[in-house]
């Protein structure tokens, strides 16, 4: 029973992710990819689980040969006007993240926001926004509707998954890396050569 329920939840999540993928704007994604390709250096950041997605994205960019850094790490260099900051924030208004995003804009850097909320503090100053929306299909079964609402974070209790934003953002980030591999004609062997070898 437990295994079946876990499988059911995974299938439900997969359906939600597919809906989110279908809702992506081609124009927004293309702009985002172009900004990465022309950036001097790429700084990534996010808070909480979004911060973990940001770190994973920075690591993959490094594997691809881009100069990427995680905001807040001790080895992160000074930002310039030739650089790009990529922010992962579902709400687009987390105070600590928004404060740093505003500082990046003051420096003259470009700002890309991956979010579910275009009309937000960070969204209002971003140069590029990619919207990862919560797509909702019509659900007639009350039990299924309850489970969807739990995963979407629409109920506070019994919702360990909180929201699908971070999961969708992680898949989106990996898909962008795959697209960048195609554009730069980078093969997996080159990625492996840049992978940590002292762990």
Residues labelled as active-site residues: 166
**What burial class does residue 113 get, using C-beta atoms within 10 Å of its C-beta: 0-12 exposed, 13-18 middle, 19+ buried?**
buried
Q: How many CB atoms lie within 10 A of CB 41?
A: 19
The answer to whether 184 and 64 are in contact (CB under 8 A) is yes
Half-sphere exposure of 193 (CA within 13 A, CB side): 7
Distance spanning both ends of the chain, measured CA to CA: 39
Tell me how far apart the alpha carbons of residues 46 and 127 are, in angstroms, rounded to a whole number: 17
| Sign of the CA dihedral with 40 first, then 126, 115, and 77 last | positive
């Amino acid at each position: 029973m437990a295994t079946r329920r876990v499988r059911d939840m995974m299938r439900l999540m997969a359906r939600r992710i597919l809906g989110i993928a279908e809702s992506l704007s081609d124009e927004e994604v293309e702009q985002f990819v172009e900004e990465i390709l022309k950036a001097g250096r790429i700084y990534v950041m996010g808070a909480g689980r979004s911060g973990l997605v940001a770190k994973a994205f920075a690591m993959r960019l490094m594997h691809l040969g881009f100069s990427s850094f995680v905001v807040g790490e001790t080895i992160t260099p000074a930002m310039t006007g030739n650089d790009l900051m990529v922010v992962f924030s579902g709400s687009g208004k987390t105070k600590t993240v928004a404060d740093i995003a505003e500082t990046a804009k003051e420096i003259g850097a470009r700002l890309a926001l991956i979010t579910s909320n275009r009309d937000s503090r960070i969204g209002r100053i971003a140069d590029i926004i990619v919207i990862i929306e919560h797509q909702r299909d019509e659900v007639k079964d009350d039990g299924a509707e309850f489970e969807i609402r739990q995963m979407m974070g629409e109920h506070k209790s019994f919702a360990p998954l909180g929201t699908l934003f971070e999961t969708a953002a992680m898949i989106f980030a990996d898909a962008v890396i795959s697209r960048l591999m195609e554009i730069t004609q980078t093969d997996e062997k080159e990625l492996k050569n840049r992978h940590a070898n002292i762990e």
